[in-house]
């Protein structure tokens, strides 16, 4: 937790309210739908908060901070302790694994396309002979 003697000297998180809500939710591993259900709002309402198209009322903000395990001051102003950064490391690692798999599939697709093009060319050449 932040030291109250230095909280005013900390560099605030300059993201928007919606950006901080989104990042904090992602750190919990919850979906927007799960967050909306837990908070008793529609998914559209919740997504509007994350997209900065609307803001939660004070009572929802307090519930939201509790659900996201962050302080209301961090949500509102970016001052205080942000969500656990370790979860970002896990998410990044997971995304990197998926990227490697997509790159492998991309390579295999290119090889398959080349094989098909060669087969078509051979058939076309044989037909004309």
- Asked if pLDDT for residue 47 goes beyond 80, the answer is yes
Under 8 Å between Cβ of 80 and 7? yes
99 HSE (CA, 13 A, CB side): 6
Tell me the C-alpha distance between 25 and 51, whole Å. Answer: 13
Which is higher by pLDDT, 9 or 109? 109
16-35 per-position pLDDT tens digit: 999 999 999 998 889 999 99
End-to-end, the C-alpha distance of the chain in Å comes to: 80
Tell me the C-alpha distance between 115 and 108, whole Å. Answer: 10
- Asked if pLDDT for residue 129 goes beyond 70, the answer is no
**Residue 77's pLDDT is what?**
87
**Residue 34's pLDDT is what?**
94
């Amino acid at each position: 937790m932040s030291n109250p003697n230095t909280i005013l000297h900390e560099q605030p998180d300059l993201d928007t309210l919606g950006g901080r809500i989104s990042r904090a939710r992602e750190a919990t591993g919850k979906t927007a739908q799960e967050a909306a259900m837990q908070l008793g709002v529609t998914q559209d309402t919740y997504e509007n908060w994350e997209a900065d198209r609307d803001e939660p009322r004070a009572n929802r903000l307090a519930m939201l901070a509790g659900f996201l395990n962050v302080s209301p001051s961090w949500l509102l102003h970016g001052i205080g302790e942000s969500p656990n950064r370790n979860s970002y490391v896990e998410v990044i690692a997971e995304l990197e694994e998926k990227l490697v798999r997509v790159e492998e599939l991309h390579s295999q697709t290119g090889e398959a396309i080349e094989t098909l093009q060669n087969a078509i060319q051979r058939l076309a050449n044989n037909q004309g002979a």
